[in-house]
């Protein structure tokens, strides 16, 4: 959706709409689940500093995540596992995680604003907004919750699989992760449908 289309979207949103923002984290990594979050902000309790989670420091994200959970009318975090990613493909797994996040809200929204150019199939009316995580506060909040939730999960997975240094790259295909993957092989938390992992599995046959 182009920027002018985004503006026209907000022109016709009714002030009585119950809007949730939705975003995901972790499509690119070779390990761990993909996470998604949905947030319904409370206009009476504004939160300063909301923006795309990638443009915030870890300290800023963690502080904002606490504030979002305290002040939002409703929030929900969901995920799709590595197995689901391999079974469905990452796009469909991401859509499923987003749908789960929306369905997990304690308040049913009338409109879901989705970061990106695709919307998951779900009962709630939805609109996709390209770069919405830097345009729409509710999507920014969802971006922050999805990112912090996944980062904290990867920190726990690092305790189980320290040899992959997941605390340093969160499972992204960095040079370090690829080197560790080659040295120690594929673990249960790796996405076996992803190219580098699939190639290693073929070599081991």
Phi-psi region of 52 (alpha: psi -120 to 50; beta: other; left: phi over 0): beta
The verdict on whether residue 24 carries a ligand-binding annotation is yes
CA distance 117 to 7: 15
Residue corresponding to tokens 């289309």: 5
The verdict on whether residue 42 carries a ligand-binding annotation is no
The verdict on whether residue 103 carries a ligand-binding annotation is no
Kind of pairing between the strands at 111-115 and 19-25 = parallel
187 SS3 class: coil
H-helix or E-strand spanning residue 77: strand 74-80
Q: Name the token pair of 202.
A: 């073929």
Phi-psi region of 78 (alpha: psi -120 to 50; beta: other; left: phi over 0): beta
**Residues annotated in a binding site for a divalent metal cation:** 23-24, 115
**Residues annotated in a binding site:** 23-24, 115
């Amino acid at each position: 959706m182009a920027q002018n289309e985004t503006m026209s979207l907000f022109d016709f949103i009714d002030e009585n709409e119950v809007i949730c923002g939705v975003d995901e984290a972790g499509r690119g990594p070779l390990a761990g689940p993909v996470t998604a979050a949905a947030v319904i902000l409370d206009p009476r309790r504004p939160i300063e500093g909301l923006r795309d989670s990638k443009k915030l420091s870890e300290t800023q994200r963690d502080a904002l995540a606490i504030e979002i959970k305290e002040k939002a009318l409703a929030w929900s975090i969901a995920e799709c596992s590595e197995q689901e990613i391999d079974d469905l493909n990452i796009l469909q797994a991401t859509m499923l995680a987003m749908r789960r996040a929306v369905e997990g809200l304690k308040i049913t929204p009338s409109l879901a604003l989705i970061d990106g150019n695709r919307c998951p199939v779900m009962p709630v009316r939805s609109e996709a907004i390209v770069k919405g995580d830097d345009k729409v506060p509710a999507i920014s909040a969802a971006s922050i919750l999805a990112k912090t939730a996944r980062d904290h999960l990867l920190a726990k997975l690092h305790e189980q699989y320290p040899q992959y240094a997941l605390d340093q790259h969160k499972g992204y295909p960095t040079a370090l992760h690829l080197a560790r993957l080659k040295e120690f092989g594929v673990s249960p938390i790796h996405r076996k449908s992803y190219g580098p992992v699939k190639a290693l599995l073929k070599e081991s046959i």
